[in-house]
């Protein structure tokens, strides 16, 4: 099972981290050992002083495919969830400043939590978009709307499959909206579609 992530897929988030807005999807991967299931805690890693959350919609690939055309990409996933792309931001900044890969900052054990999966159409609004909200403790910290994505789910699937064979069960984290932030031990992150709790992750 592979985990793909899209970086800088929401303009407001790219700006909040002073990153350029990309003209094609920014893709990175996490190993399967990064996966943290719903309700499992994340233990604050000892190699960072600035663990941050990025709440994201996660697609589950439903059948194998490669070089998928964008117009057929919708056939390759049926279920979605919400997950957290956990990031050691201080370590990432250090690596980025040296032009080095991000894996140490984003692919460590537990760096990809994922919640319950629901059918992809369950929470579509009238315009065909998805809204999701992330709470840290009792406050809303991120409000996502897929209409604000630079690259659609279909575009992402098509793009990734030009390089990597997609296999049933692979996950794709589709990018985070603005509002990322730091965590401390004891924080509870909760992700919602409408009023359904999709994921809850405690930092221990």
- Are 57 and 134 within 8 A, CB to CB? no
The residue among 52 and 190 lying less far from Mg ion, judged by its C-beta, is: 52
Subset of residues 29 to 68 that bind Mg ion, contact rule: CB under 5 A: 54
Whichever of 65 and 111 has its CB closer to Mg ion, that residue is: 111
Residue bearing tokens 């990409």: 73
Nearest distance from residue 174's CB to Mg ion, in Å? 9
Does 176 bind Mg ion (CB under 5 A)? Our answer is yes
At 164, is the secondary structure helix, strand, or coil? coil
CA distances to 16, 31, 47, 74 from 106, in Å: 18, 10, 12, 27
Helix (H) or strand (E) holding 21: none
Least separation in angstroms between CB 193 and Mg ion: 18
User: Residue of minimal CB distance from Mg ion?
Assistant: 85
Question: Is residue 170 involved in binding Mg ion (CB under 5 A)?
Answer: no
By CB under 5 A, which span of 32-40, 79-87, 152-160, 179-187 interacts with Mg ion?
A: 79-87
Count of residues engaged in binding Mg ion, rule: CB under 5 A: 3
Residue 86 DSSP one-character state: -
Query: Which is nearer to Mg ion, 65 or 112 (by Cβ)?
Result: 112
The SS3 call for residue 128 is: coil
174 binds Mg ion (CB under 5 A): no
- How far, in Å, CA of 115 to CA of 104, rounded? 23
Distance CA(25)–CA(154), nearest Å, equals 12
Closest CA to 74 of 63, 89, 86, 85: 63
Q: Which is nearer to Mg ion, 5 or 61 (CB)?
A: 5
Residue among 85, 133, 170, 187 that touches Mg ion (CB under 5 A): 85
Q: How far is the CB of 179 from Mg ion (least distance, A)?
A: 12
Binding site for Mg ion (CB under 5 A): 54, 85, 176
């Amino acid at each position: 099972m592979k985990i793909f992530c899209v970086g800088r897929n929401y303009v407001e988030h790219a700006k909040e981290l002073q990153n350029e807005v990309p003209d094609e999807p920014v893709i990175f991967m996490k190993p399967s050992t990064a996966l943290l299931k719903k309700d499992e805690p994340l233990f604050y890693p000892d190699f960072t002083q600035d663990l941050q959350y990025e709440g994201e919609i996660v697609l589950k690939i439903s059948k194998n495919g490669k070089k998928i055309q964008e117009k057929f990409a919708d056939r390759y996933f049926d279920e979605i969830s919400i997950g957290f792309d956990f990031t050691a931001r201080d370590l990432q900044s250090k690596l980025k400043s040296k032009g080095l890969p991000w894996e140490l900052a984003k692919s460590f054990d537990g760096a990809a939590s994922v919640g319950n999966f629901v059918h992809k159409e369950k929470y579509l609004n009238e315009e065909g978009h998805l809204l999701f909200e992330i709470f840290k403790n009792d406050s809303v910290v991120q409000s996502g709307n897929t209409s604000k994505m630079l690259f659609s789910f279909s575009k992402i699937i098509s793009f990734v499959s030009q390089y990597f064979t997609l296999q049933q069960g692979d996950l794709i984290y589709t990018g985070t909206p603005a509002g990322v932030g730091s965590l401390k031990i004891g924080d509870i992150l909760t992700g919602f579609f409408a009023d359904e709790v999709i994921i809850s992750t405690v930092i221990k």
